[in-house]
Amino acid sequence: MSNYLTPKEILLFAQETGVRKVGMPKLSILILSFLAGVFIALASVGSNMIAHNIDDIGLAKYLAGLIFPAGLLLVVVAGAELFTGNNLISIALLSGKVKFREFISNLSMLWLGNLAGSIFVALLIYLSGQLHYSSGVLGAYTLKVGIIKTNLTFVNLFTSGILCNILVCLAVWMAYASKDIAGKALAVFFPIWLFIASGFEHSVANMYYLSSALLAKSNPDFVQIAVSKYGIDGESLMNLDLFGMFIGNLLPVTLGNLIGGALFVGAFYWWSLRK
């Protein structure tokens, strides 16, 4: 007996999974989406910690990518509901098993729950004093990451969001194929490492990066270090606010993630394998 599913079998499994996910009680969806936000935020914390003292951006992203897959692995194996991964519910939608309003309602609740979990971790990290590591360089680096993300254009963020969730949903798709934890870990690891190393934009990870950067901005010491070490200017710093977080970044990245996952992975596999 095979210990993995073929692509056609994955399609059927993804369809059944989508129906099950949409049919979950709303309270369960909110709790499990909160947990997914926590898991991805913790992976983001680890990535920042690894990268904050490395000047070579390629090496920094390479090493950050080694730790970030832990976030999705926690979601897949421990069990949680992640907005980006659940874009694959589009398969159940196209199969007529899920209504469009159910699809949108589910993803909306997931997005809000993921946001709450991400902000929760950002607040805990700030209160823990971890951002003071390396004499405040971690706080300054956290601020720098948020500033970069809120100063990209809509097109930059939208297209990077598409690329990101193609890889994230492929990781989930391949994790569906495996019937054991080791196989799921391998399936998740390489696509997620690739997306982090490539610097693509993930809406749920950005929920942590941006909320943590806003908290770091409230500390004058972190701002001063960021200005002196990274050459941050006043105009770029001004773009890091709630408008920049939600409208400037999360809106285009979320839309890009939705297109990348629901269309380029879910819909494409449904169109090609359903018969």
pTM of the complete model beyond 0.75? yes
pLDDT tens digits for range 221-230: 999 999 999 9
In a domain, 175, yes or no: yes
| pLDDT at residue number 2 | 81
User: 7-22 and 154-177 are packed helices; what angle lies between their axes, rounded to 10 degrees?
Assistant: 110
In a domain, 191, yes or no: yes
In a domain, 172, yes or no: yes
Q: What is the mean pLDDT of residues 62-78?
A: 97
Q: What is the mean pLDDT of residues 17-26?
A: 98
In a domain, 176, yes or no: yes
SS3 per residue for 88-140: HHHHHHHCCCCCHHHHHHHHHHHHHHHHHHHHHHHHHHHHHCHHHHHHHHHHH
In a domain, 1, yes or no: no
pLDDT tens digits for range 131-163: 999 999 999 999 999 999 999 999 999 999 999
pLDDT reading at 275 higher than 80: no
Total domains, the chain:
1
> How many CB atoms neighbour CB 4 within 10 A?
14
pLDDT band at 1 (very low <50, low <70, confident <90, very high): low
Terminal Cα distance for the chain, rounded: 24
Measured CA to CA, the distance from residue 91 to residue 269 in angstroms comes to: 8
Question: Which structural domain, as residue segments, surrounds residue 188?
Answer: 7-273
In a domain, 83, yes or no: yes
In a domain, 201, yes or no: yes
Instruction: For the chain, state the CA radius of gyration.
Output: 19
Tokens of 230: 């990274």
Q: Which amino acid is at 163?
A: L
pLDDT tens digits for range 197-217: 999 999 999 999 999 999 999
| pLDDT at residue number 129 | 98
CATH number for the domain that contains residue 62: 1.20.1080.10
In a domain, 155, yes or no: yes
The residues, ordered by sequence, that sit 6+ positions from 120 with a Cβ below 8 Å of its Cβ are 34, 37, 38, 41
pLDDT band at 3 (very low <50, low <70, confident <90, very high): confident
User: 181-198 and 57-67 are packed helices; what angle lies between their axes, rounded to 10 degrees?
Assistant: 160
| pLDDT at residue number 86 | 98
